[in-house]
């Protein structure tokens, strides 16, 4: 049945009115009508759409309420990578950046920069086609993100259809989803009333809200958005400067920050930084610095990129925030490798964007060095995503009789006698997986994202499984049953099935992931990858002697001994055997180094910025020539490939007498070997 023309016109009118008021509310912070009138417009539109379903489309304001829950997020490839920014932590570092910009670009005059607040949120990419929002994706690793379109549609600040004209047929808007402070406080008050866990900080709240599989939950969260850049552009042009791009964004209905300023020269840049630093506490959202961007897009193109960051932009971070609080008590935690770590319990203090209640004291020597005592008033520092630390003790506020903390002689969990290896500052429990604390930590590590990545197997679930005695090693995970899991606290049938499905999915993995997941002491991702690449299969790694292991890039005598000790332990061997029996498998890493490879077994380290290719590409070229590429300089290093702005690695190579190749030398080497 055809929709009457007057009804279609009324629907178009209502949508235009609602979108206009959304723009006034979210972008201009100047609502033109009371909430009750806005609700009436929305109800009228919902009623007409329910009577005429054929009129409903994805861009309608009514579609912001959320849709049915997803099983998982789809992957989205970024045609134009979403790059991260380099950091400057002071005026001198920014001056060095400005000097590099002018020298590299051959610019004689003072540079014009756009100065923006560095919002503490989650980067997002919005793809618009013919003015309609079609895909929203997270940054992910810069090349591939997650499709969060359904969640983004619930954010009122983001237009589902652009206004005005002159925008390209197809283009990506890059920006930041964040949670304003007022909304964050309201959200936590609501959570506490419901007996739910409060969010730690606005950034975590924004990220958690945007990654909900149920977009109806996202719709209840007070999220905001500011545009800051552009990605893919097809079928049209964009303005010539960052400043005019922001003006175009406003015309198209895309919100931009209200604290933007264009300045010329480093002195003006510093003044803009100081203004925002002074305003920081009064802003309605969290920022942790400023971003400087070369304003002219043609100049940006001339400057180009290095590795994963643009050469034409940099973030200048604010100084670390420090606050004082009282140290209430000290206790110890048992880590995955049995390390006993003293932890300070503090009166809650909000610093650097988070509420801090616990701070590691690292080890007994560190604790004694700072002379930290129970009852002390301490200075706590946190900057950005850095782990909070106790900087110092306010000695003149120390109460009478403040006591030193004495480290235990026995493990607080399994009562095993603690030992300290000669030359180490750390006490250890040697009980291994027979200690419940180490078992929990080992399982959490095994399931973590960079290890086997068992989706849904969070810390609280792991603790329940170990406490019940169902899981005593990683192998036990693959014996769990759906009905068994469904009986646990806060675990419904669907959640239990998701865990079983996730365990099935991770049976096919890679050798580097598996080696890392085993939790061998001091074997991180890089070393696990080096072991896999060198030996090609698990059995070869397990059978290797310390001498054979020391031939591997990144493996020294201490790590080699840890690897041998781990694989010679009967219990560890049994766990590995059971994991393989339960279907954990991978394709063996092909060791394809030709005997006549020009750089066979030569050890290279790459540092600094390369102009002809990025460092990942250089690494691939070197490996194709038979070389091993490691991340740290040692006496075993044969060559250092040093690009621009090479730092401490260059000095260390010079001190050790390691031969240094410039990028020009490297390119000649490639050409001479026809690579």
What is the per-residue pLDDT across 452-489, written as a single tens digit (0 to 9) for each? 999 989 889 999 999 999 999 999 999 999 999 998 87
Average pLDDT of the residues in 558-582: 91
Q: How far apart are CA 227 and CA 343, in angstroms?
A: 41
pTM for this structure? 0.55
3-state secondary structure of 101: helix
Looking at residue 597, its pLDDT comes to 65
Nearest to 22, CA basis, from 346, 322, 254, 336: 254
Task: For the chain, give the mean pLDDT.
Answer: 86
In terms of DSSP bridges, do strands 603-607 and 628-630 run parallel, antiparallel, or are they unpaired?
Answer: parallel
Please give the domain boundaries of the chain with CATH numbers for all domains.
5-56 (1.10.287.610), 86-317 (3.30.470.30), 322-397 (2.40.50.140), 432-505 (1.10.150.20), 511-581 (1.10.150.20), 603-672 (3.40.50.10190)
The count of residues in the chain is 675
pLDDT band with cut points at 50, 70 and 90 for residue 592 = very low
Contact 191, 198 (CB under 8 A): yes
Q: What percent of the chain has pLDDT over 90?
A: 39
Contact 586, 510 (CB under 8 A): yes
The helices-and-strands tally (H runs, E runs) of the chain is 24, 24
Average pLDDT of the residues in 180-196: 87
Residue with the larger pLDDT of the pair 101 and 533: 101
Nearest to 150, CA basis, from 73, 229, 254, 227: 73
Strand order in the sheet with 287-294: 86-88, 313-317, 287-294, 112-119, 261-264
Residue 610 pLDDT more than 50? yes
Residue 561 pLDDT more than 50? yes
Q: How far apart are CA 160 and CA 109, in angstroms?
A: 41
Residue 219 pLDDT more than 80? yes
Lookup: tokens for 33: 């009508």
Contact 354, 201 (CB under 8 A): yes
**Catalytic residue chosen out of the listed positions 74, 77, 99, 118:** 118
**Residue 636 designated active-site:** no
DSSP state of 590: P
Task: For residue range 283-319, list pLDDT tens digits in order.
Answer: 999 888 999 999 999 999 988 876 567 889 999 988 7
* 616 backbone φψ class: left, alpha, beta (φ>0; ψ -120 to 50): alpha
Average pLDDT of the residues in 415-421: 87
Element of type H or E holding 558 = helix 557-568
Between 40-49, 413-422, 492-501, the lowest mean confidence (pLDDT) is in 40-49
Looking at residue 66, its pLDDT comes to 46
Residue 650 pLDDT more than 90? no
pLDDT band with cut points at 50, 70 and 90 for residue 594 = very low
């Amino acid at each position: 049945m055809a929709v009457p023309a007057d009804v279609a016109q009324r629907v178009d009118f209502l949508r235009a009115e609602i979108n206009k008021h959304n723009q006034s509310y979210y972008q201009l912070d100047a609502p033109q009508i009371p909430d009750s009138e806005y609700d009436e417009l929305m109800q009228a539109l919902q009623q007409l759409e329910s009577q005429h379903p054929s009129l409903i489309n994805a861009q309608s304001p009514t579609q912001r309420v959320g849709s049915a829950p997803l099983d998982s997020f789809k992957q989205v490839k970024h045609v134009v990578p979403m790059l991260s920014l380099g950091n400057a932590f002071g005026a001198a570092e920014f001056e060095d950046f400005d000097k590099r910009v002018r020298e590299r670009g051959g610019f004689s005059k003072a540079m014009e920069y756009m100065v923006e607040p560095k919002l503490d949120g989650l980067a997002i990419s919005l793809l618009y086609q013919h003015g309609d929002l079609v895909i929203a994706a997270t940054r992910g690793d810069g090349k591939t993100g997650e499709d969060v379109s359904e969640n983004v549609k619930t954010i009122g600040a983001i237009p589902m259809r652009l206004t005005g004209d002159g925008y390209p047929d197809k283009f990506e808007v890059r920006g930041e989803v964040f949670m304003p402070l007022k909304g964050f406080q309201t959200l936590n008050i609501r959570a506490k009333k419901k007996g739910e866990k409060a969010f730690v900080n606005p950034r975590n709240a924004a990220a958690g809200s945007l990654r909900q599989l149920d977009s109806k939950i996202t719709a209840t969260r007070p999220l905001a958005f500011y545009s800051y850049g552009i990605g893919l552009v097809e079928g049209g042009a964009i303005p010539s400067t960052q400043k005019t791009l922001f003006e175009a964004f406003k015309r198209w209905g895309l919100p931009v920050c209200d604290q933007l300023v264009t300045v010329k020269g480093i002195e003006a840049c510093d003044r803009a930084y100081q203004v925002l630093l002074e305003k920081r506490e009064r802003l309605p959202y969290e920022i942790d610095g400023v971003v400087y961007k070369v304003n002219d897009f043609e100049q940006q193109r001339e400057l180009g990129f290095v590795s994963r960051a643009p050469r034409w932009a940099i973030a200048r971070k604010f100084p670390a925030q420090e606050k004082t609080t009282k140290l209430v008590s000290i206790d110890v935690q048992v880590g995955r490798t049995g390390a006993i770590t003293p932890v300070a319990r503090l009166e809650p203090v909000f610093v650097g964007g988070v509420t801090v209640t616990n701070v590691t004291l690292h080890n007994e020597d560190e604790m004694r060095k700072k002379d930290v005592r129970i009852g002390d008033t301490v200075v706590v520092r946190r900057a950005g995503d850095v782990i909070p630390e106790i900087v110092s003790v306010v000695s003149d506020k120390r109460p009478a009789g403040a006591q030193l903390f004495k480290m235990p002689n026995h493990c607080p969990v399994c009562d095993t006698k603690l030992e300290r290896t000669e030359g180490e500052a750390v006490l250890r429990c040697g009980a291994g997986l027979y200690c419940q604390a180490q078992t929990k930590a080992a399982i959490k590590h095994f399931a973590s994202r960079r290890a086997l990545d068992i989706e849904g197997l969070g810390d609280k679930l792991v603790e329940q499984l170990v406490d019940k005695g169902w899981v005593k090693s990683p192998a036990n995970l693959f014996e769990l049953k759906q009905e068994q899991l469904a009986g646990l606290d806060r675990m419904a049938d669907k959640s239990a099935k998701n865990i079983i499905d996730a365990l099935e999915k991770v049976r096919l993995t890679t050798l580097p992931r598996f080696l890392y997941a085993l939790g061998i002491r001091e074997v991180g991702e890089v070393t696990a990858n080096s072991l896999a690449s060198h030996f090609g299969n698990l059995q070869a790694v397990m059978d290797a002697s310390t001498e054979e292991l020391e031939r591997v890039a990144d493996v020294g005598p201490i790590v080699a001994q840890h690897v041998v000790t781990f694989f010679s332990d009967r219990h560890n061997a049994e766990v590995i055997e059971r994991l393989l029996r339960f279907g954990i498998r991978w394709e063996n890493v092909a060791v394809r180094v030709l005997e006549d490879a020009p750089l066979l077994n030569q050890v290279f380290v790459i540092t600094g910025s390369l102009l002809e290719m990025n460092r990942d590409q250089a690494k691939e070229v070197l490996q194709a020539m038979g070389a091993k590429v490691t991340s740290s300089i040692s006496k075993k290093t044969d060559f250092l490939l040093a690009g621009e702005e090479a730092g401490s690695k260059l000095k260390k190579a010079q001190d050790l007498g390691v031969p240094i190749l410039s990028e020009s030398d490297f390119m000649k080497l490639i050409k001479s070997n026809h690579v």
